[in-house]
Amino acid sequence: MIKSSICELLGIEYPVLQGGMAWIADGRLAAAVSNGGGLGIIAAGSADGAYVREQIRKAKELTDKPFGVNIMLMSPFADEVAAVAAEERVSVVTTGAGNPSKYMQMWKDAGIKVIPVVASVALARLMERLGASAVIAEGGESGGHIGELSTMVLVPQIADAVSLPVIAAGGIADGRGVAAAFMLGACAVQVGTRFLAADECSINPVYKEKIIKAKDLCTMVTGRRLGHPVRALRTNFQREYLKLEYSPATDEELEAFGAGSLRKAVVDGDNDGGCFLSGQAAAMVKKVQPAAEIVRELAEGAEPLLKGAGEWVR
Ligand code: TUI
Protein backbone atom coordinates (compact mmCIF):
# COMPACT_ATOMS: atom_id res chain seq x y z
CA MET A 1 0.00 0.00 0.00
CA ILE A 2 1.47 3.35 -1.02
CA LYS A 3 1.13 5.95 1.73
CA SER A 4 2.56 9.44 1.86
CA SER A 5 2.17 12.60 3.89
CA ILE A 6 -0.62 13.67 1.51
CA CYS A 7 -2.83 10.80 2.73
CA GLU A 8 -2.80 12.11 6.31
CA LEU A 9 -2.96 15.76 5.23
CA LEU A 10 -6.09 15.23 3.12
CA GLY A 11 -7.63 12.26 4.95
CA ILE A 12 -7.51 9.99 1.88
CA GLU A 13 -6.51 6.35 1.40
CA TYR A 14 -4.51 6.58 -1.85
CA PRO A 15 -2.24 9.50 -2.92
CA VAL A 16 -4.34 10.13 -6.04
CA LEU A 17 -6.18 13.38 -6.83
CA GLN A 18 -8.61 13.74 -9.73
CA GLY A 19 -7.93 16.76 -11.93
CA GLY A 20 -10.39 19.66 -11.95
CA MET A 21 -11.58 19.39 -15.53
CA ALA A 22 -13.77 22.31 -16.63
CA TRP A 23 -17.30 21.32 -17.74
CA ILE A 24 -16.48 17.70 -16.84
CA ALA A 25 -15.57 17.19 -13.19
CA ASP A 26 -18.95 17.47 -11.45
CA GLY A 27 -20.23 16.36 -8.04
CA ARG A 28 -20.93 12.85 -9.31
CA LEU A 29 -17.40 12.21 -10.57
CA ALA A 30 -15.77 13.87 -7.55
CA ALA A 31 -17.84 11.77 -5.12
CA ALA A 32 -16.99 8.56 -7.00
CA VAL A 33 -13.26 9.30 -6.82
CA SER A 34 -13.46 10.19 -3.13
CA ASN A 35 -15.50 7.06 -2.38
CA GLY A 36 -12.74 5.12 -4.16
CA GLY A 37 -10.15 6.43 -1.71
CA GLY A 38 -8.70 9.27 -3.81
CA LEU A 39 -9.52 12.98 -3.67
CA GLY A 40 -12.35 13.91 -6.02
CA ILE A 41 -12.43 17.49 -7.25
CA ILE A 42 -15.34 19.52 -8.62
CA ALA A 43 -14.26 21.88 -11.40
CA ALA A 44 -15.76 25.36 -11.36
CA GLY A 45 -14.42 26.09 -14.86
CA SER A 46 -16.30 29.14 -16.14
CA ALA A 47 -19.51 28.28 -14.25
CA ASP A 48 -21.17 30.61 -11.74
CA GLY A 49 -21.47 30.27 -7.96
CA ALA A 50 -24.93 28.70 -8.04
CA TYR A 51 -23.75 25.83 -10.24
CA VAL A 52 -20.71 25.17 -8.07
CA ARG A 53 -22.80 25.25 -4.87
CA GLU A 54 -25.23 22.75 -6.40
CA GLN A 55 -22.40 20.39 -7.34
CA ILE A 56 -20.83 20.69 -3.87
CA ARG A 57 -24.17 19.79 -2.26
CA LYS A 58 -24.58 16.86 -4.67
CA ALA A 59 -21.13 15.55 -3.76
CA LYS A 60 -21.94 15.93 -0.05
CA GLU A 61 -25.03 13.75 -0.62
CA LEU A 62 -23.02 11.10 -2.45
CA THR A 63 -19.99 10.86 -0.15
CA ASP A 64 -18.96 11.53 3.41
CA LYS A 65 -15.29 11.54 2.35
CA PRO A 66 -13.28 14.70 1.73
CA PHE A 67 -13.38 16.28 -1.72
CA GLY A 68 -12.17 19.50 -3.30
CA VAL A 69 -13.18 22.32 -5.63
CA ASN A 70 -10.97 23.63 -8.42
CA ILE A 71 -11.17 27.35 -9.13
CA MET A 72 -10.23 28.31 -12.69
CA LEU A 73 -8.77 31.77 -12.10
CA MET A 74 -9.41 33.11 -15.62
CA SER A 75 -13.15 32.62 -15.11
CA PRO A 76 -15.31 35.78 -14.98
CA PHE A 77 -16.98 34.12 -11.96
CA ALA A 78 -13.74 33.39 -10.05
CA ASP A 79 -14.55 35.83 -7.18
CA GLU A 80 -18.04 34.42 -6.74
CA VAL A 81 -16.96 30.79 -6.89
CA ALA A 82 -14.04 31.41 -4.52
CA ALA A 83 -16.54 32.73 -1.95
CA VAL A 84 -18.88 29.75 -2.44
CA ALA A 85 -16.01 27.31 -1.76
CA ALA A 86 -15.29 29.18 1.49
CA GLU A 87 -18.97 29.30 2.53
CA GLU A 88 -19.46 25.59 1.85
CA ARG A 89 -16.24 24.79 3.73
CA VAL A 90 -15.01 22.17 1.29
CA SER A 91 -11.93 20.27 2.48
CA VAL A 92 -9.63 21.40 -0.29
CA VAL A 93 -9.43 24.13 -2.92
CA THR A 94 -7.14 23.70 -5.90
CA THR A 95 -6.58 26.56 -8.34
CA GLY A 96 -5.49 26.72 -11.96
CA ALA A 97 -4.64 29.07 -14.80
CA GLY A 98 -3.40 31.91 -12.63
CA ASN A 99 -2.19 33.30 -9.32
CA PRO A 100 -4.65 32.77 -6.41
CA SER A 101 -2.89 35.08 -3.91
CA LYS A 102 -5.89 37.35 -3.31
CA TYR A 103 -8.10 34.47 -2.11
CA MET A 104 -5.60 32.56 0.05
CA GLN A 105 -6.41 34.23 3.39
CA MET A 106 -10.18 33.83 2.92
CA TRP A 107 -9.82 30.10 2.24
CA LYS A 108 -7.39 29.56 5.09
CA ASP A 109 -9.74 31.41 7.48
CA ALA A 110 -12.47 28.95 6.42
CA GLY A 111 -10.17 26.05 7.40
CA ILE A 112 -9.69 25.00 3.77
CA LYS A 113 -6.47 23.39 2.60
CA VAL A 114 -5.28 25.34 -0.44
CA ILE A 115 -3.38 23.48 -3.15
CA PRO A 116 -2.55 25.69 -6.16
CA VAL A 117 -1.50 24.33 -9.53
CA VAL A 118 1.86 25.87 -10.33
CA ALA A 119 3.69 25.79 -13.63
CA SER A 120 6.82 27.61 -12.39
CA VAL A 121 9.23 27.65 -9.45
CA ALA A 122 8.48 31.32 -8.71
CA LEU A 123 4.75 30.74 -8.20
CA ALA A 124 5.45 27.64 -6.06
CA ARG A 125 7.69 29.71 -3.76
CA LEU A 126 5.07 32.46 -3.48
CA MET A 127 2.35 29.94 -2.66
CA GLU A 128 4.49 28.45 0.10
CA ARG A 129 5.00 31.92 1.61
CA LEU A 130 1.24 32.58 1.51
CA GLY A 131 0.43 29.37 3.39
CA ALA A 132 -0.51 26.77 0.75
CA SER A 133 -0.81 23.22 2.14
CA ALA A 134 0.81 21.65 -0.95
CA VAL A 135 1.34 22.47 -4.61
CA ILE A 136 0.46 20.64 -7.79
CA ALA A 137 3.32 20.74 -10.31
CA GLU A 138 1.52 20.32 -13.62
CA GLY A 139 3.56 19.66 -16.74
CA GLY A 140 2.63 20.44 -20.33
CA GLU A 141 1.64 16.84 -21.09
CA SER A 142 -1.65 17.70 -19.40
CA GLY A 143 -4.88 18.44 -21.15
CA GLY A 144 -6.42 21.88 -21.10
CA HIS A 145 -4.53 25.03 -20.18
CA ILE A 146 -0.81 24.30 -19.89
CA GLY A 147 2.41 25.96 -18.87
CA GLU A 148 5.79 25.86 -20.60
CA LEU A 149 7.59 22.98 -18.85
CA SER A 150 7.09 19.22 -18.98
CA THR A 151 6.40 17.11 -15.88
CA MET A 152 9.86 15.50 -15.98
CA VAL A 153 11.66 18.81 -15.42
CA LEU A 154 9.01 20.73 -13.48
CA VAL A 155 8.42 18.29 -10.60
CA PRO A 156 12.03 17.96 -9.37
CA GLN A 157 12.60 21.72 -9.62
CA ILE A 158 9.47 22.46 -7.58
CA ALA A 159 10.40 19.72 -5.09
CA ASP A 160 13.82 21.38 -4.63
CA ALA A 161 12.35 24.87 -4.31
CA VAL A 162 9.70 24.33 -1.61
CA SER A 163 9.37 22.21 1.52
CA LEU A 164 5.65 21.62 0.88
CA PRO A 165 4.31 18.29 -0.37
CA VAL A 166 4.46 18.26 -4.18
CA ILE A 167 1.74 16.61 -6.25
CA ALA A 168 2.79 15.71 -9.81
CA ALA A 169 0.44 16.09 -12.75
CA GLY A 170 0.70 15.80 -16.52
CA GLY A 171 1.14 12.57 -18.45
CA ILE A 172 0.33 10.24 -15.56
CA ALA A 173 -2.19 7.54 -16.42
CA ASP A 174 -0.93 4.30 -14.86
CA GLY A 175 1.18 2.88 -12.04
CA ARG A 176 4.39 3.56 -13.95
CA GLY A 177 3.61 7.26 -14.05
CA VAL A 178 2.80 7.24 -10.34
CA ALA A 179 6.08 5.48 -9.48
CA ALA A 180 8.03 7.88 -11.71
CA ALA A 181 6.37 10.88 -10.04
CA PHE A 182 7.47 9.63 -6.63
CA MET A 183 11.03 9.21 -7.95
CA LEU A 184 10.96 12.84 -9.15
CA GLY A 185 10.17 14.06 -5.64
CA ALA A 186 6.37 14.06 -5.62
CA CYS A 187 4.34 12.40 -2.87
CA ALA A 188 1.07 12.18 -4.79
CA VAL A 189 -0.32 12.51 -8.29
CA GLN A 190 -3.15 14.39 -9.94
CA VAL A 191 -4.73 12.57 -12.87
CA GLY A 192 -7.25 14.03 -15.31
CA THR A 193 -7.37 12.32 -18.68
CA ARG A 194 -7.78 8.78 -17.36
CA PHE A 195 -10.86 9.83 -15.39
CA LEU A 196 -12.52 10.93 -18.64
CA ALA A 197 -13.10 7.19 -19.11
CA ALA A 198 -14.66 6.68 -15.68
CA ASP A 199 -18.18 5.22 -15.60
CA GLU A 200 -19.21 8.13 -13.39
CA CYS A 201 -17.84 10.76 -15.79
CA SER A 202 -20.89 12.32 -17.46
CA ILE A 203 -19.31 13.51 -20.75
CA ASN A 204 -20.91 12.66 -24.08
CA PRO A 205 -20.11 9.03 -25.10
CA VAL A 206 -18.47 10.37 -28.28
CA TYR A 207 -15.84 12.09 -26.08
CA LYS A 208 -15.14 8.86 -24.14
CA GLU A 209 -14.78 6.90 -27.36
CA LYS A 210 -12.33 9.47 -28.75
CA ILE A 211 -10.16 9.09 -25.62
CA ILE A 212 -10.22 5.28 -25.75
CA LYS A 213 -9.30 5.32 -29.46
CA ALA A 214 -6.60 8.01 -29.16
CA LYS A 215 -3.05 7.17 -30.24
CA ASP A 216 0.29 8.65 -29.23
CA LEU A 217 0.22 11.69 -31.55
CA CYS A 218 -3.49 12.42 -31.10
CA THR A 219 -3.21 15.67 -29.11
CA MET A 220 -2.06 19.13 -30.17
CA VAL A 221 -1.67 22.59 -28.63
CA THR A 222 -3.53 25.69 -29.79
CA GLY A 223 -4.10 29.10 -28.20
CA ARG A 224 -0.48 30.28 -28.01
CA ARG A 225 -1.28 33.50 -29.89
CA LEU A 226 -3.79 34.63 -27.26
CA GLY A 227 -1.39 33.58 -24.50
CA HIS A 228 -3.48 30.63 -23.27
CA PRO A 229 -2.06 27.44 -24.72
CA VAL A 230 -4.51 24.56 -24.51
CA ARG A 231 -3.93 20.86 -25.25
CA ALA A 232 -6.77 18.99 -26.90
CA LEU A 233 -7.42 16.04 -29.20
CA ARG A 234 -6.28 16.68 -32.77
CA THR A 235 -9.58 17.21 -34.61
CA ASN A 236 -10.53 19.13 -37.72
CA PHE A 237 -11.78 21.91 -35.42
CA GLN A 238 -8.40 22.18 -33.67
CA ARG A 239 -6.56 22.18 -37.02
CA GLU A 240 -8.84 24.96 -38.29
CA TYR A 241 -8.27 26.95 -35.10
CA LEU A 242 -4.50 26.60 -35.48
CA LYS A 243 -4.70 27.77 -39.11
CA LEU A 244 -6.71 30.82 -38.00
CA GLU A 245 -4.10 31.59 -35.32
CA TYR A 246 -1.44 31.92 -38.00
CA SER A 247 -3.69 33.90 -40.36
CA PRO A 248 -4.37 37.67 -40.33
CA ALA A 249 -7.65 37.03 -38.42
CA THR A 250 -8.19 39.41 -35.50
CA ASP A 251 -8.05 38.26 -31.87
CA GLU A 252 -11.82 38.85 -31.69
CA GLU A 253 -12.42 36.58 -34.67
CA LEU A 254 -10.23 33.94 -33.08
CA GLU A 255 -12.12 34.16 -29.80
CA ALA A 256 -15.46 33.98 -31.60
CA PHE A 257 -14.32 30.83 -33.44
CA GLY A 258 -13.45 29.10 -30.15
CA ALA A 259 -16.48 30.33 -28.16
CA GLY A 260 -18.61 27.55 -26.70
CA SER A 261 -16.35 24.81 -28.02
CA LEU A 262 -15.72 23.11 -24.62
CA ARG A 263 -19.45 22.78 -24.04
CA LYS A 264 -19.96 21.47 -27.58
CA ALA A 265 -17.44 18.70 -26.91
CA VAL A 266 -18.60 17.72 -23.42
CA VAL A 267 -22.37 18.04 -23.78
CA ASP A 268 -22.99 17.48 -27.51
CA GLY A 269 -19.99 15.33 -28.49
CA ASP A 270 -19.83 17.68 -31.49
CA ASN A 271 -17.06 16.35 -33.69
CA ASP A 272 -16.90 19.46 -35.91
CA GLY A 273 -17.34 22.31 -33.39
CA GLY A 274 -16.13 20.78 -30.12
CA CYS A 275 -12.78 21.25 -28.40
CA PHE A 276 -12.03 17.88 -26.77
CA LEU A 277 -9.47 18.76 -24.09
CA SER A 278 -7.13 15.85 -23.39
CA GLY A 279 -3.67 15.14 -22.08
CA GLN A 280 -1.00 13.25 -23.99
CA ALA A 281 -1.78 10.19 -21.86
CA ALA A 282 -5.07 9.60 -23.73
CA ALA A 283 -3.32 6.85 -25.71
CA MET A 284 -2.73 4.98 -22.44
CA VAL A 285 -6.43 4.95 -21.53
CA LYS A 286 -7.78 1.60 -22.68
CA LYS A 287 -11.27 1.17 -21.28
CA VAL A 288 -14.22 2.67 -19.47
CA GLN A 289 -14.28 1.51 -15.85
CA PRO A 290 -15.43 2.65 -12.41
CA ALA A 291 -13.55 5.63 -10.95
CA ALA A 292 -12.71 3.64 -7.81
CA GLU A 293 -11.02 0.98 -9.96
CA ILE A 294 -8.92 3.67 -11.69
CA VAL A 295 -7.78 5.05 -8.32
CA ARG A 296 -6.83 1.57 -7.10
CA GLU A 297 -5.04 0.56 -10.32
CA LEU A 298 -2.98 3.76 -10.29
CA ALA A 299 -1.83 3.25 -6.70
CA GLU A 300 -1.44 -0.53 -6.73
CA GLY A 301 0.30 -0.45 -10.13
CA ALA A 302 3.07 1.68 -8.63
CA GLU A 303 3.72 -0.63 -5.67
CA PRO A 304 5.77 -3.41 -7.35
CA LEU A 305 7.75 -0.81 -9.31
CA LEU A 306 8.73 1.18 -6.25
CA LYS A 307 9.46 -1.98 -4.28
CA GLY A 308 11.55 -3.39 -7.14
CA ALA A 309 13.59 -0.22 -7.71
CA GLY A 310 16.49 -1.71 -5.69
CA GLU A 311 17.09 -4.12 -8.55
CA TRP A 312 18.93 -1.38 -10.43
CA VAL A 313 21.43 -0.74 -7.66
CA ARG A 314 24.57 -2.89 -7.33
O1 TUI B 1 -6.05 25.26 -15.37
C2 TUI B 1 -5.60 24.24 -15.87
N3 TUI B 1 -6.19 23.63 -16.92
C4 TUI B 1 -7.33 24.07 -17.54
S5 TUI B 1 -8.24 25.41 -17.14
C6 TUI B 1 -9.30 25.12 -18.40
S7 TUI B 1 -10.67 26.12 -18.75
C8 TUI B 1 -10.12 27.08 -20.03
N9 TUI B 1 -11.02 27.42 -20.90
C10 TUI B 1 -10.68 28.17 -21.94
C11 TUI B 1 -9.40 28.61 -22.13
C12 TUI B 1 -8.46 28.26 -21.25
C13 TUI B 1 -8.82 27.47 -20.18
C14 TUI B 1 -8.92 24.02 -19.06
N15 TUI B 1 -7.83 23.45 -18.56
N16 TUI B 1 -4.51 23.65 -15.37
C17 TUI B 1 -3.79 24.23 -14.29
C18 TUI B 1 -2.70 25.06 -14.79
N19 TUI B 1 -2.39 26.21 -14.27
N20 TUI B 1 -1.88 24.80 -15.81
C21 TUI B 1 -1.01 25.82 -15.91
C22 TUI B 1 -1.36 26.71 -14.92
C23 TUI B 1 -0.76 27.96 -14.59
C24 TUI B 1 -0.11 28.71 -15.54
C25 TUI B 1 0.45 29.91 -15.20
C26 TUI B 1 -0.85 28.42 -13.29
C27 TUI B 1 -0.29 29.63 -12.94
C28 TUI B 1 0.36 30.35 -13.90
O29 TUI B 1 0.98 31.52 -13.58
C30 TUI B 1 0.19 32.59 -13.27
C31 TUI B 1 0.98 33.71 -12.71
O32 TUI B 1 0.41 34.80 -12.69
O33 TUI B 1 2.11 33.49 -12.26
Best probe residue, ligand 1, of 145, 195, 254, 263 (max atoms within 8 Å of C-beta):
145
Task: Specify whether 145 is located in the same domain as 250.
Answer: no
Task: Specify whether 45 is located in the same domain as 158.
Answer: yes
**Residue 60: count of CB within 10 angstroms of its CB:** 14
Cα–Cα distance list, 138 to 10, 118, 123, 249, 279 (Å): 19, 6, 12, 31, 11
Task: Specify whether 39 is located in the same domain as 165.
Answer: yes
Number of domains in the chain: 2
Task: Specify whether 45 is located in the same domain as 152.
Answer: yes
- Per residue in 154-201, pLDDT (tens digit) is 999 999 999 999 999 999 999 999 999 999 999 999 999 999 999 999
Is 165 within 8 Å of 157 (Cβ atoms)? no
Mean pLDDT of the chain: 97
Answer whether residue 35 is part of any domain: yes
Nearest CA to ligand 1 atom 17: 96
pTM over 0.95: yes
Answer whether residue 82 is part of any domain: yes
pLDDT confidence of residue 173: 98
Q: If you measure from the C-alpha of residue 51 to the centroid of ligand 1, how many angstroms do you get, rounded to a whole number?
A: 20
Task: Specify whether 290 is located in the same domain as 271.
Answer: no
Task: Specify whether 10 is located in the same domain as 132.
Answer: yes
Answer whether residue 314 is part of any domain: no
Best probe residue, ligand 1, of 73, 93, 117, 241 (max atoms within 8 Å of C-beta):
117
Task: Specify whether 297 is located in the same domain as 254.
Answer: no
pLDDT confidence of residue 314: 87
Looking from the CA of residue 122, the nearest atom of ligand 1 is 33
Q: Percentage of the chain surpassing pLDDT 70? A: 100
79 contacts: CB under 8 Å, gap ≥ 6: none
Task: Specify whether 90 is located in the same domain as 134.
Answer: yes
- Per residue in 42-101, pLDDT (tens digit) is 999 999 999 999 999 999 999 999 999 999 999 999 999 999 999 999 999 999 999 999
Task: Specify whether 249 is located in the same domain as 151.
Answer: no
- Per residue in 90-121, pLDDT (tens digit) is 999 999 999 999 999 999 999 999 999 999 99
Give the domain range for residue 238: 219-277
Measured from the CB, is residue 149 less than 6 Å from ligand 1?
Answer: no
Q: Among the residues of 151-290, which ranges form H helices?
A: 151-161, 175-183, 205-213, 236-245, 251-258, 261-266
Q: If you measure from the C-alpha of residue 55 to the centroid of ligand 1, how many angstroms do you get, rounded to a whole number?
A: 21
DSSP secondary structure letter of residue 272: T
| CATH number of the CATH domain containing 151 | 3.20.20.70
Q: Which residues pair with 151 in a beta bridge?
A: none
Task: Specify whether 167 is located in the same domain as 110.
Answer: yes
Task: Specify whether 228 is located in the same domain as 191.
Answer: no
Task: Specify whether 193 is located in the same domain as 246.
Answer: no
Nearest to 117 by CA among 92, 100, 102: 100
* Average pLDDT, integer, range 250-257: 92
pLDDT confidence of residue 267: 97
Looking from the CA of residue 123, the nearest atom of ligand 1 is 33
Three-state secondary-structure class, residue 71: strand
Q: Report how far residue 305's alpha carbon sits from residue 197's, in angstroms, rounded to the nearest whole number.
A: 24
Q: Report how far residue 157's alpha carbon sits from residue 140's, in angstroms, rounded to the nearest whole number.
A: 15
pLDDT confidence of residue 286: 97
Answer whether residue 16 is part of any domain: yes
